[in-house]
């Protein structure tokens, strides 16, 4: 499934700031949980930079986290970790 992409063929230049959108139910602890995951992949991640957008009905919360991406492997693993997190509905 994951095919090796040589750095010269990548559309992303590493290291770079990389935004990721995460959506989940608007529940207590959701923002903190996502910040915790982000810090696992970017120790310098600053939770105060998380952008929050509640859904119209207020049931869901959209977050944008921006991490420092250092490799394709790091991003792939971060996406895998977020998509399998029990509080997360969608990752873009």
pLDDT in tens, 14-72: 999 999 999 999 999 999 999 999 999 999 999 999 999 999 999 999 999 999 999 99
Report pLDDT for 64. Answer: 98
Q: Beta-strand (E) ranges in 1-92?
A: 16-25, 51-54, 60-69, 88-91
Q: CB under 8 Å to 3, separation ≥6 — which residues?
A: none
- pLDDT in the model for residue 12: 86
pLDDT value of residue 6: 62
pLDDT by residue (tens digit) across 2-15?
Answer: 566 665 666 888 99
Give yes or no for residue 1 having a pLDDT over 80. Answer: no
- The answer, yes or no, to whether residue 85 has pLDDT greater than 80, is yes
């Amino acid at each position: 499934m994951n095919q090796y992409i040589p750095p010269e063929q990548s559309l992303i230049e590493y290291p770079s700031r990389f935004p990721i959108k995460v959506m989940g139910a608007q529940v207590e602890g959701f923002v903190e949980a996502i910040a915790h995951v982000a810090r696992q992949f970017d120790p310098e991640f600053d939770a105060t930079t998380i952008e929050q957008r509640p859904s119209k009905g207020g049931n869901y919360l959209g977050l944008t986290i921006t991490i420092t991406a250092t490799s394709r492997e790091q991003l792939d693993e971060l996406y895998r970790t977020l998509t399998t997190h029990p509080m997360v509905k969608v990752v873009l």
